[in-house]
Structure 1
Amino acid sequence: MKRRQLLRGALATGLTGTALTALTTARQSLDQALVADPLADLSDLEAATETYGYGYHGQPPTRVLADLVTDFAELRPLLLTTPQPVATRVRVCRTAGQMAGMVAIVLHDLGARKEARSWFTTAGRAAAESGDRQLRAWLWAREAMVPLNYGAPRAAATLAEQARHAAGSHPTAAATLAAAVAARAYALSHQPDQAREALAATDGFMDRLNASERADTWLTHGEQKHHVHLSHAFTALGDTQRARESQKRALELSAPTSSMTRTLLKIDAAACAHHDGDTEQACHRAIAALTALPADYRTGLVRRRAMDLYNSIPAQHHRLSAVRELRDILAP
């Protein structure tokens, strides 16, 4: 409890040097521990991991990050204690891979790209030791979203294709996510044929997912998440009609507390308006979405997506008052 409170305090002012040091220490402790054998019952930590998978639930990302890292640190003694059955170590490593992956997701959302990649590396080591190929594929697909959302779509496509290969051809959440991320990466890389092939694969997997794989969590691939990915892919392709269909459906399925997701969808809608020639309306929509967002969420991924919209506006429109207002809101 004390560790959790200290980490929450360190993160309260953002990803400062102190907070990042604490995050690195927690990650490195597991890296060192992965060479040992774990202890007994993991039920509580497995249950905690399942709970974290349901996302932010209206909590600030930094608070979720503090809680995740605190529980993640509890895995270390399980890895250091010997001897243990192979099945127990598999459970420990799978839980470690899932938790570390979710820490990386939050760091990605906050804009801490370097730290997110480090946690994905740790998660990958744990997943590899667990022998869970679907978890490994899921982690590669999630990791691909770091370069995807921060300006390196070709690197994202490479990682997404790794994930697709690892996931295989069976309809799993990891296979569906990998195809969806690949579609977005190809769309942003101006490779429309590859993007549409990946989109077709995404739809095909989605149609065959079983109920447990369609749950609305970070670890699975529900209909809401499906349409969030389609929204971005079709927006990048300039297929604004299909993008708007997915935006509408995703918003219908998104809880009011899903502040970040709802804002990203609204920025996609603004980008569609710009693509269709109404730049002023696009800026007004983006401004409304950003100003309605709690301050804790108006950073990282959300800011980057809005910056992508601003940067796509030709210089001759920069004198419009709405464009200037969007620029001012996005100023550091």
Structure 2
Amino acid sequence: MEGRATLLRTLLERRHQETHRAFCAEYDKTAREIDTRLIGSSPSREAFGRWMKGHLKTKPRADHCRVLERMFPGHTVAELLAPYDAGGCDAGRDRLRAGPGVSERRPDTPEAATNRRDLLHLGAAGLTGGLIDHALRGPDLFEEILDLRSIGEVRLDFLEGEAERLGRRVPPAEVLPEALMHLSSVRELLAQRQPAKIQQRLARVGAKLSIVIGEILFCADHFVLARRWYSAASRAAEEAGDRYIADLALASATLIPTYSAQPRAVLAMVSPRLEQAGAATPAVAWLWGLAALAHASLGERAAFERAMSRSREILGRCELDALQPGILSFQHDRREFYEVRGRADLGDLRGAEVVVRHVNDVYRADSNDSALVQFAYASALAEAGEAEEACRLALKALRQTPGRPGITVVVRAHEFNALLNAPATVSGEWRDALAAVRSPAATGLWASSV
């Protein structure tokens, strides 16, 4: 099978789909009909070139064969990749459907290989085959499609509703395949022509889904990928002209330096936006809350009070309908957690206690937010020398967390543990409980940079 143009090349040229980009578009569209896990498994540019020229020593892998034979009904893979014989080809029996443009597949780099290996740890999310490629290649594919500035037919109501539904809570890893599939639909629709207003709505949906995916990866300790998805969300929000979602993407991205003890990086990210922010939105209140936490970490009490006051004031001016639960908004109880955490960092034990008493009446006892509040107050107690009471609260916080603790709880647990200088009566029990919880990844928050 060497040396001459193949039947595959001839058929593609007749339909003006001989470029790698055009072929991948048709390949993904056909793969969706067979098995959605095959989406994104199209051949690399190098492999495609060998298919076109007949420079092959063995047949392609089974998944490629399945898709090729569905793309060209009536032809076997052996026929498609053999040198072209004009007398033996009835091109009229083959029909190709026009598909949306999809970016070329890029060869794996060492970083991509590492990311792929890390993603396999999300086994509970059902990430296999093409879904892993979606998670790894998704931000680049999405942004490149946006750059095409083309638009298409949509099921906007459904997609908008799904993006809102997935953003109504901190999404578990199990919904990652669902979010990736919805975003795949958005990408395909963005590659077709439609009115500009629909293009904007699609970009807005894509931005929300990118935030959801970024949050899942952040909570699963995949920080480099999470940062890329937040960046894609910001890019899509700009395309949609949606300042609010852009602010949400910025706040989400700022969680990475917030939970990696980089307060100056936090301020560098949020300060330019806060200097120009005028509208009272939950996202702006969130940015002020993150700034307050950073100032508290730096021991800047007056700046903390100013920023926290601004966050409280802005939330008070927001419409009630805007204060929705989940990751696409910011709520009073989350702001109160930030206040407890900040006051604990500043050593304001009395101030933290006042807020904690109120927060305990608001939070569900089994939520991550409740655990974070307890850890914040326990940290203040530990710094005040009340180690036994601090460990009691920390144990309560760790045990009340539903399921496997998220990365935010894990980080705060280890930060609290670092404050325990002298063993207390309950410290042994606390450390046994902590030993059963994963440590932050060496390549994760502790080592990440913005």
TM range (shorter): 0.7 to 0.9
The two structures, once aligned, show a CA RMSD in angstroms of 3.0
Distance 2:342 2:206 in 1: 31
Corresponding residue number in structure 2 for 1:146: 256
How far has the Cα of 1:126 moved from its partner? Answer: 0.6
How far has the Cα of 1:51 moved from its partner? Answer: 1.0
Query: Unpaired segments of 5 or more residues in structure 1?
Result: none
Asked if the contact 2:413–2:434 (Cα under 8 Å) also holds between the matched residues in 1, the reply is: no
Asked if the contact 1:94–1:130 (Cα under 8 Å) also holds between the matched residues in 2, the reply is: yes
Corresponding residue number in structure 1 for 2:352: 243
Q: Work out which of the residue numbers 3, 6, 24 in structure 1 matches 2:136.
A: 24
Corresponding residue number in structure 2 for 1:133: 243
Distance 1:109 1:44 in 2: 26
How far has the Cα of 1:81 moved from its partner? Answer: 0.5
Asked if the contact 1:110–1:299 (Cα under 8 Å) also holds between the matched residues in 2, the reply is: yes
Distance 2:179 2:344 in 1: 33
How far has the Cα of 1:16 moved from its partner? Answer: 8.7
Q: Work out which of the residue numbers 153, 159, 166 in structure 2 matches 1:40.
A: 153
Asked if the contact 2:169–2:325 (Cα under 8 Å) also holds between the matched residues in 1, the reply is: no
Q: Work out which of the residue numbers 308, 327, 330 in structure 2 matches 1:218.
A: 327
SS, match of residue 74 in structure 1: helix
Corresponding residue number in structure 2 for 1:51: 165
Corresponding residue number in structure 2 for 1:176: 285
Distance 1:307 1:10 in 2: 22
SS, match of residue 114 in structure 1: helix
Distance 2:144 2:319 in 1: 37
Q: Summarize deviations over 1:261-284 as a string: whole Å, max 9, x none.
A: 222222223223213321122123
How far has the Cα of 1:3 moved from its partner? Answer: 4.4
Asked if the contact 1:141–1:163 (Cα under 8 Å) also holds between the matched residues in 2, the reply is: no
How far has the Cα of 1:233 moved from its partner? Answer: 2.0
Corresponding residue number in structure 2 for 1:160: 270
How far has the Cα of 1:34 moved from its partner? Answer: 0.9
Quick one: structure 1 residues 54 and 281, their matched pair in 2 at CA, closer, same or farther if it must change by over 3 Å? same
Asked if the contact 2:274–2:287 (Cα under 8 Å) also holds between the matched residues in 1, the reply is: yes
Is 1:261 the equivalent of 2:372?
no
The amino acid that maps onto 1:311 is A
Structure of higher CA gyration radius: 2
How many residue pairs are counted as aligned between the two chains?
A: 323
Corresponding residue number in structure 1 for 2:435: 328
The amino acid that maps onto 2:239 is E
How does the TM-score come out when normalised to structure 2?
0.65
Asked if the contact 1:54–1:218 (Cα under 8 Å) also holds between the matched residues in 2, the reply is: yes
Report which structure shows greater RCO (CA 8 Å, sep ≥6): 1
Asked if the contact 2:168–2:324 (Cα under 8 Å) also holds between the matched residues in 1, the reply is: no
Asked if the contact 2:297–2:345 (Cα under 8 Å) also holds between the matched residues in 1, the reply is: yes
How far has the Cα of 1:176 moved from its partner? Answer: 0.7
The amino acid that maps onto 1:124 is S
Q: Summarize deviations over 1:1-24 as a string: whole Å, max 9, x none.
A: 9648x9x99733579997765411
How does the TM-score come out when normalised to structure 1?
0.86
Distance 1:204 1:99 in 2: 29
Distance 1:46 1:16 in 2: 24
SS, match of residue 147 in structure 2: coil
Distance 1:275 1:175 in 2: 31
How far has the Cα of 1:193 moved from its partner? Answer: 2.1
How far has the Cα of 1:252 moved from its partner? Answer: 3.1
Corresponding residue number in structure 1 for 2:419: 312
The amino acid that maps onto 2:152 is L
Asked if the contact 2:213–2:229 (Cα under 8 Å) also holds between the matched residues in 1, the reply is: yes
How far has the Cα of 1:287 moved from its partner? Answer: 2.4
The amino acid that maps onto 1:281 is E
